[in-house]
Structure formats: structure tokens, C-alpha cells
Amino acid sequence: MDNGIEAKLIRHEEEEGDLKQRIWDESKKIWRVALPGVISRFCAFGTLVVTQSFMGHISDVDLAGYALVQTLSVRFINGILLGMSSATETLCGQSFGAGQHHMMGIYLQRSWIVDLTTLTIFLPVFVFGTQIYKLLGQEESLARSGGYISLWFIPYIYSCVFSLTIQMYLQAQLKNMIIAWLSVFQFAIHLPLSLILVYKLNMGVDGAMIALSMSAWFLVIGEFIFIFGGRCPNSWKGFTVAAFRDLVPLVKLSLSSGVMVCLELWYYAVLVLLAGYMENAEVAISAFSICLNLVAWEFMISIAFLGAACVRVANELGRGNAKAVKFSIKVLLGTSLAIGVFFFILCLALGKKLAYMFTDDDRVAESVSDLSLLLSFSVLLNSIYPVLSGVAVGAGMQAAVAIVNLVCYYVIGVPLGALLGYLTSLEVKGIWIGMIGGVLTQTITLVYMTWRTDWDAQVTKASERLARFYLKSDEDSEQITNVS
């Protein structure tokens, strides 16, 4: 009897030791993708936040106008680009896992064709910004300021086509540390550049926006030099006419990806729009936008974990290892949730102090302080659902998640926020409670979906998808320009 118990204890210790090692190994793989992603996204979004801070010190109207453009127009277009680019993330990740490295460069070029075409179609959103904001019922001064700022955002948004797709291409092959370094330099030059243009040259709004575009294109040019300079010899074989083949299936996958992400990002834009119809709209929009930017800045960490989840799931599906997929999801959720708890406590502790980073207006700071508890809960939820969205992207299940986002956000979240915001005394706080209601419903649904997914079946689907898009490596003979 004693020998049997002793044998069980020894076996349990061995299994526990093996589990610890597996968690450690998986964590290293996750952080190899997530850490550069955290750094790069934090710095890239930081440039937007720094620009917003400069706008707040130029004038309250320009701060609110910038908030309108960033939260409505930029979020609208960036959501489309980010969502459509996630198709690149799915295909590159699964190709890397399957050893089809040469296909990754072709997928990258196809994404440029699709995304540039899409952005050009939607360009009137920036060109006719003033008219759009007036049509949406915004105040005259806010609409004019937002319309002027939206024109300055055009060079910035075109840089996003390349920065988003290249990041997904590089992180799929575990080479995204270069983006982290470039992003650090981008952020480092953005602050002094903004100071010089805004204050030294007294260019005001124009100077702040020129600095934003210049720093954004610095990142893209650095990425081009890295790829075209031969640092991705297995996956980049030069520009090729093969990029123009099979665009229709890619567009279909891109559209489902785009809808999935857009419904999520536009959700916050709709809520800011609701805040704009309230009394004292300037204070309401400014406070709500500051809180959303704080959530979004922390969300950059969550987005990095979304990327890590996508890469890990896509790589293991490409290799045909369903068991590794399930284990990776558990480690990803545990790590991301621990980080979310830390920021939850931090937001509760800082409160009003965060607002003065963006404004000198005590009314706006008071409103931000009043929203700090809801801000903290939003940050906590940010640590869960992006990971599950990344799992869906890695598996190519974007269409199913798009339906979930549509129902949870627009059937539950927005109506609930509107009811609480306009029919009670909660106002902006009521809108935020509705937002959390939609996110919480989405999170619960994604947890259930992930738990119920047959990952062996997903392995088969991934194999079929790669076979459908596959081109032999001797396709290189069709290259029209080889920069490798």
C-alpha cells in the first residue's frame, strides 16, 4: 500500500515537473512574439497619444476635433485595414508552420494590393470630414476642426497599410524584434519633432500632424530596408506577378477578417458619437476620448497577445499539432489575465492624475476621474477577449467571430449604453456601462466557442486552405523585380 502511494507521488512530481517545463517553454515562444509586439504597438500608439496631448495644449476645440477624427474616421479606416490584414496573419502563420516559407512574401504582396485598393476607395471619409461630422450632428466648431485635422491624417493612414501587414508578416516568422527597435526610434524622434514643429516653429495643429506622419513613415521605411535588404531570404523572393493570382479567395478571407475587427473598433466610435449628442459635448467627448485612449494604450499589450495567439495557433495548426494549440491557449490566457489584473489595480490607484497628461481643463479631469472604476474594468476585460480573437484569427474562424461581435456589440452594448446614457442621470457613465455589457457578453461567448472548438478538425481545414493557395517555389521565375 505504502509503495503504491509512493509510486503515485513520484509520478505526480514527474508530471508536475514536466508541466512546469512545458509552461516555461510555451511562455518563451509566446513572449518571443508578444514582447516585440507590446513594444512596437505601445510606441506606435504612443505617437497618437503624444499628438493628442499636444492638441490638448493648443486648444480644447482642437483636442475634441482630434478626438473625433481619431475615434471615428481613423478607427473606422484602421479597423478595416487591421481586419483585412489579419488574413495575412492567418495565411503567413500557417504557411510558416507548414514550411511553405516562399508563400509568405506572396501573401504579403497580395495584402498590399488588396489593402491599398480598399483604402483608396474609402479615402473620401478623410477628404469630406467636415461634412460627415456635420451630418452626424456634431457642433459646427468641432466639425470644422475635425474636418481640417482629418486631411492631415491621410499620409498617416497610408503608412498603416504597410506597417500593419509587414508586422504580421515578420511576426509569423518570429522576426518582429526589428519592428520593436524601429518603433522605439519612431517614438523617440516623435516627441522632439513635435516640440520643434509645434512650439519652436509655431506651426500649431499643422506641426503636430506633420510630426505624426513623418514618424509613421520612418517606421515603414525602416521595415522596407530590413525586408528588401535580404534579412528574410526564405520568405521574400522579390516582387512577383504571382501576387496578382488568387486575389478573390484572399479578398473573401480579408473581408470576413475586416468585418470581425471593424465591428469591434467601430463599437467604441459609436459610443463616442453618442457622447457627442449630450449636453456640454466638448467636455463629454474629451473625457470619454481620454479614457478610451488609456484603454487603447493598454490594449496595445492585449493586441500583442492577440498577435502571439494568432502566431502560436496558426503555426501549430500548420504543423498539424492540435494538442499544442490547446495548451498554448491556456498559457496565453493565464499570462494575459495576470497582466490585466495589474493594470486594473493601477487604473484604480491613479484616477484623476491620468487626465492631466492630456488636458489642463479641470472639468475634463473630473469627468475622467468619475469614469476611473469603469475604465479599470474595461482594462481587465481587455486581457481576455483579444487573446480569444487571436485564436480565431490563427484558425481562420473570423466569420464566426464577426457574427458574435455584431450581436454582442450592436444588439446588446450600443442599445444598453444609449438607454443608460440618455434615459437616466448616468450620461457618459451610462454609455460606458453599456460598452462593458457588450464586451462582457462577447468575452463569455468567445470562451464558450474556444472551449467547444474541435481543434483536430481545424488542423484539417488549415491543411486544405494552404493547399488551395499553394504555388510551387519555382514560381520565382515569374518575378519581375528581385530586390533580395
In order along its 484 residues, the chain shows pLDDT tens digits of 455 555 444 444 444 458 888 899 999 988 988 888 888 878 887 898 889 888 888 888 888 889 888 877 887 788 788 777 777 878 888 888 888 888 899 989 998 998 999 899 999 999 999 999 888 887 888 889 999 999 999 999 999 999 989 988 998 888 889 989 999 999 999 999 999 999 889 898 999 999 999 999 999 999 999 999 989 998 998 898 888 887 877 777 777 767 777 777 667 667 666 766 666 666 766 777 777 777 777 777 887 888 889 889 988 888 888 899 999 999 999 999 998 899 888 888 776 677 777 677 777 777 777 777 888 888 888 888 889 988 987 887 877 888 888 899 889 988 998 898 888 888 778 888 988 899 899 999 999 999 999 999 888 888 887 777 667 655 444 444 444 4
Smallest CA-to-CA distance from 66 within 133, 164, 120, 160 is with 133
* 116 contacts: CB under 8 Å, gap ≥ 6: 158, 161
Q: How far apart are CA 247 and CA 347, in angstroms?
A: 45
pLDDT for residue 40: 87
Smallest CA-to-CA distance from 98 within 313, 318, 325 is with 318
Q: How many Å from the N-terminal Cα to the C-terminal Cα in the chain?
A: 68
Q: What are phi and psi of 134, to 5 degrees?
A: -65, -40
pLDDT for residue 93: 84
pLDDT for residue 248: 78
pLDDT for residue 352: 65
CB 69 within 8 A of CB 150: yes
Q: How far apart are CA 107 and CA 236, in angstroms?
A: 10
Residue 434 corresponds to which cell in the numbers above?
453599456
The cell 467636455 sits on which residue?
Answer: 283
pLDDT for residue 265: 67
At residue 479, the 3 state secondary structure works out as strand
Tell me the whole-structure pTM to 2 decimals. 0.75
pLDDT for residue 440: 93
Q: Is 424 exposed, middle or buried (0-12, 13-18, 19+ CB in 10 A)?
A: exposed
